[in-house]
C-alpha cells in the first residue's frame, strides 16, 4: 500500500513525492482512483430486441451546448461492441438502493437485468426504473485513451426524478450521501 504523508511542492523530485515508477502499478492506480468518489450509471439499450448494458462509474457531464456527457469503456469490453450499435443509449443515474443492481449490471455471467425493472424508449434506449435521472443519448465521438475509450454522448432527451438520492462509489464500497 502507498502511504504518502509528505506535502508535494513544485520542484520536489519524484523520490521526494513518495511515488516512483516501481509503485505505479495497475493495482495501486486502481486503488488510488478509488479515492475519488463517483456516482454510478447504467448504460443500456435494446439490440435486436434484447437488453444490453453495463454499470459504469466513469460518467462525467461535459457540455451544455451542445449537450454532451461522457463515460469510459474498457477496450476489452465484450458488451460495448454490441451496445454501440444501438440507435439510442439510455443512461440511468443509479440511486442509493441500487447497490445490488450495480453488481447485477456488472455481472460477467448471467442476466444483467435480473430483478431490475426497465423502461424502453421508442428509440430503443433502456432505462432502469427507480433511478434519479434518465438521459437518452447518441454516440457523438469515440476517443481512444490507453486501455479505455472515452465515449462522448450527445443527450437527446431528459427525465428527472428528484426524490431519488444517488449511490456513491468510493474505495470499492457503495455509500450513501448521509453515511
Ligand X SMILES: Cc1cc2nc3c(=O)[nH]c(=O)nc-3n(C[C@H](O)[C@H](O)[C@H](O)COP(=O)(O)O)c2cc1C
For binding to ligand X (CB under 6 A), which residues are involved? 40, 54-58, 71-74, 77-80, 102, 105-106, 108, 169
- Is the CB of 55 or the CB of 152 nearer to ligand X? 55
Report helix, strand or coil for 26.
Answer: helix
Q: Shortest approach of ligand X to residue 69 CB, angstroms?
A: 13
Residue showing cell 428527472: 160
Which of 81, 58, 55 is closest to 71 using CA atoms?
A: 58
Q: Shortest approach of ligand X to residue 6 CB, angstroms?
A: 31
- Is the CB of 40 or the CB of 128 nearer to ligand X? 40
Beta-carbon contacts of 115 under 8 Å, excluding residues fewer than 6 positions away, are: 100, 101, 104
Q: Shortest approach of ligand X to residue 4 CB, angstroms?
A: 25
- Is the CB of 54 or the CB of 155 nearer to ligand X? 54
CA–CA separation, 59 and 30 (whole Å): 16
Amino acid at each position: 500500500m502507498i502511504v504518502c504523508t509528505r506535502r508535494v511542492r513544485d520542484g520536489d523530485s519524484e523520490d521526494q513525492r513518495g511515488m516512483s515508477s516501481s509503485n505505479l502499478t495497475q493495482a495501486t492506480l486502481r486503488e488510488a482512483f478509488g479515492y475519488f468518489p463517483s456516482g454510478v450509471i447504467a448504460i443500456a439499450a435494446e439490440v435486436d430486441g434484447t437488453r444490453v448494458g453495463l454499470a459504469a462509474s466513469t460518467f462525467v457531464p461535459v457540455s451544455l451546448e451542445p449537450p454532451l456527457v461522457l463515460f469510459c469503456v474498457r477496450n476489452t469490453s465484450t458488451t460495448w461492441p454490441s451496445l454501440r450499435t444501438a440507435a439510442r443509449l439510455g443512461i440511468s443515474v443509479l440511486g442509493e438502493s441500487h447497490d445490488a443492481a450495480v453488481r447485477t449490471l456488472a455481472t460477467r455471467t448471467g442476466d444483467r437485468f435480473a430483478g431490475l425493472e426497465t423502461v424502453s424508449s421508442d428509440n430503443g434506449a433502456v432505462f432502469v426504473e427507480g433511478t434519479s435521472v434518465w438521459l437518452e443519448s447518441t454516440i457523438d465521438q469515440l476517443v481512444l485513451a490507453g486501455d479505455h475509450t472515452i465515449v462522448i454522448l450527445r443527450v437527446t432527451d431528459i427525465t428527472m426524478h428528484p426524490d431519488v438520492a444517488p449511490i456513491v462509489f468510493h474505495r470499492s464500497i457503495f455509500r450513501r450521501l448521509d453515511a
